[in-house]
Structures are given as structure tokens and as C-alpha cells.
């Protein structure tokens, strides 16, 4: 594994780590809206 690969991997992990809370919030918000309509 070269330094560039490690850099790319850590960047991907970071962006995935930061994206996850937003995805969770979006999912919770969607479920909330869905349940509100029932």
C-alpha cells in the first residue's frame, strides 16, 4: 500500500464517517414525517 492509497482510504473513511450522522438524521426525519401522516 502506497502513501497515496492510505491518504485516499483515510479520506474516504472520514467522508463516510461525517456523512453517516446526516444520513441517520435524514432517515429519522423521514420516518417521523411518515408516521405523522398515518
- Interval 17-24 mean pLDDT: 81
Evaluate if residue 23 carries a pLDDT over 60. yes
Structural domain tally of the chain?
1
Evaluate if residue 32 carries a pLDDT over 70. yes
pLDDT confidence of 29, banded at 50, 70, 90?
A: very high
1-29 core/surface letters (b: 16 or more CB in 10 A; e: else): eeeeeeeeeeeeeeeeeeeeeeeeeeeee
24 half-sphere exposure, CB direction, 13 A CA radius: 6
- Interval 11-22 mean pLDDT: 82
The domain of 28 spans 5-35
Q: Strand, helix or coil at 21?
A: helix
The pTM (predicted TM-score) of the whole model is 0.42
Dihedral sign (CA 3, 8, 11, 16): negative
* Residue 4: predicted pLDDT: 83
Dihedral sign (CA 1, 14, 29, 35): positive
Amino acid at each position: 500500500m502506497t502513501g497515496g492509497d492510505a491518504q485516499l482510504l483515510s479520506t474516504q473513511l472520514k467522508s463516510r464517517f461525517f456523512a453517516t450522522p446526516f444520513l441517520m438524521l435524514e432517515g429519522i426525519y423521514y420516518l417521523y414525517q411518515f408516521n405523522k401522516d398515518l
